[in-house]
Chains A and B, each alone.
Chain A
């Protein structure tokens, strides 16, 4: 039996999904778009498959999430729609329910957060509500795991007996008349297209272009539709969209008046107002937010992160030296030995080195998200990001970018608009990540010993400036379309459930290893081959003869206008794609230097201060690394989008470094 889980954002949908399925989940994407699709079978009921559809407020055609949801229900024909409704915010939640009920699919409503309703002294007349709606209603508390068994029983019964929602006339008067006439007019078209006629008629009255297109009406019929709608609008003195929203809400209000007794605001709502007095306070909001981010960063990239990283590193070093020793005992050829130790194990090592970071950051991020604080950050920061065509929601991922682009890109998943998500993914790597810092430090020591701090700050600010300019540019070109409206719910603050936080963290970690493993692994091995083989495919001990070096020499002239046309710089840029640390090790090898001090003086002869600064500019802006590319591919969802991101970032890096060098030359 296929169950479609549908509900508003912040209704506890993910919590319910986790309670139902436990760890039997499978995460994927809907074909063609980057809307996540989670699937799983219910614990102890293997035959019940639940698909977690995106969190939505309505079935209008304006967002890909809403279109995906209604197409899924119309085309995949699930046996049951499981609609989760937040009982503390029932009016707005039922707005979606009324539309779902028109889809002619058996349906059960899970009335969530009943614990909060009760503890505030409010009540809901469940029997009456069920009668009024004509849909089975099961009270639950997803976070406390209450009412779930009963809910499953009702889902099974509704699905097996194919109990359809009662046909209710949520619209009265003129709206009803219009829907009624249109239902007759388009019934055949709707049935042919596989769309429930009343749903189609209602959406026609509302002016839904997608439904108009899929019904394939002829010109005459389109005229009649227009005429009927016009007549309704004239009679009502209002337009079609307002008329429908108004009649749905009026219907809901009438039901709630009879069944929902909420004299008091819930304790959670009262508490939220108090917390917000501090967290979105006019002057305190920003300092508090920065403090929270500082704590997260210092834990992730400082103490705790370091500790976990060193554990991972020790583990991988131990395994490497074990294998290294074991191979020394056997007669394995030197190149195989080197491939395994320096290629394969180094590859695994660099994948795993990201793990502590990703786990920790997502632990904190899901705390911020689940408590409801993330929505407040968006509320506070929206003004700043709007100018570059984004909304406040993009702020946190971009900030994470200063730590590491990989989790930052992965964190864009929570952005509700596909356009914002893609733009944020492209801009985030311009925030200088922590792995670039050692490269800056090395070059500063070599060429700007007195001005190290100034150079570094300039680089960071330049990254931000480029991101802002890019935002302005992309907003008016590649991402022209209309930004999704910033109309966002501020959910009540709630204690996050440890289970869902850990789940989320585990999910992201697993996801990263699965997706990034191949690409980073292959990249490391390919680089190993290029670095160690010459064109006769024999191992070479002199790095100057390697394939990598000759590729470096080949592309080096491209960088000549930027001031660093040396083959060693070009080679370092290529290896830098596996990870930024590789830039330093490449220079060490290619400059034949034994220690850092020697490398510093060698770099001093290879670069001038100006060409070094142009080089650092390029390192700052070009595509960060294989792991970030893997994350980009995963989140953007298409090869084309990924190539666009890489091309845009590298192109920007080239142009800005060119400007830096050529303009700089005029003054020096």
Chain B
């Protein structure tokens, strides 16, 4: 499952980051690395982008990118 499919309020563990180039690099640098726990907090009013919570801060990325991040939903 990807981060884009996770749904608001759900938490998951990142398995892998897809995509390439500058964008992928930036995602990794912002802390979206494998084994990191990430929560989807909100979807923007027009349906895109989404707000994430990870490593103690809030980050926003577009659905297009979220769809490239493979996650495993955490059992709460």
Contact = CB atoms under 8 A, between A and B. Distances in A.
A434 B6 CA distance: 46
A57 B22 contact: no
A492 B22 CA distance: 26
Contact of B31 (A95, A262, A488): A95
Interface stretch (A28-36, A240-248, A315-323, A536-544): A240-248
Interface residue range, chain A: 35 or more
A91 B26 contact: no
A487 B64 CA distance: 11
Contact of A488 (B25, B28, B45, B59): B59
Interface of B is mostly: mixed
Contact of B29 (A245, A269, A484, A491): A245
Contact of B23 (A88, A245, A487): A487
B48 A382 contact: yes
B50 to A, nearest CB: 9
Nearest to A375: B60
A241 B46 contact: no
Contact of A490 (B29, B55, B60, B65): B60
A280 B58 contact: no
A579 B5 CA distance: 53
27 contacts: A58-B26, A58-B29, A60-B25, A91-B56, A241-B24, A242-B16, A242-B17, A242-B33, A246-B34, A246-B35, A265-B56, A272-B58, A276-B51, A379-B44, A379-B49, A380-B45, A383-B46, A485-B27, A485-B65, A486-B60, A486-B61, A486-B62, A487-B23, A487-B27, A488-B60, A489-B58, A492-B58
Contact of B45 (A242, A265, A283): A283
B45 A92 contact: no
By CB atoms of chain A within 10 A, which of B24, B29, B49, B55 has the most? B29
Interface residues of B, number: 35
A281 interface: yes
Nearest to A488: B60
Contacts of B17: 242
A242 B28 contact: yes
A89 interface: yes
Contacts of B44: 280, 285, 379-380, 382-383
B5 to A, nearest CB: 19
A242 B30 contact: no
Given A280-B45, A491-B58, 14 more contacts: A58-B26, A62-B22, A62-B25, A92-B30, A95-B31, A241-B25, A241-B28, A242-B17, A262-B56, A379-B51, A382-B62, A386-B62, A490-B51, A490-B58
Given A249-B36, A489-B59, A276 B46 contact: no
Interface string A363-388: 00000000000010001101110100
A375 B62 CA distance: 14
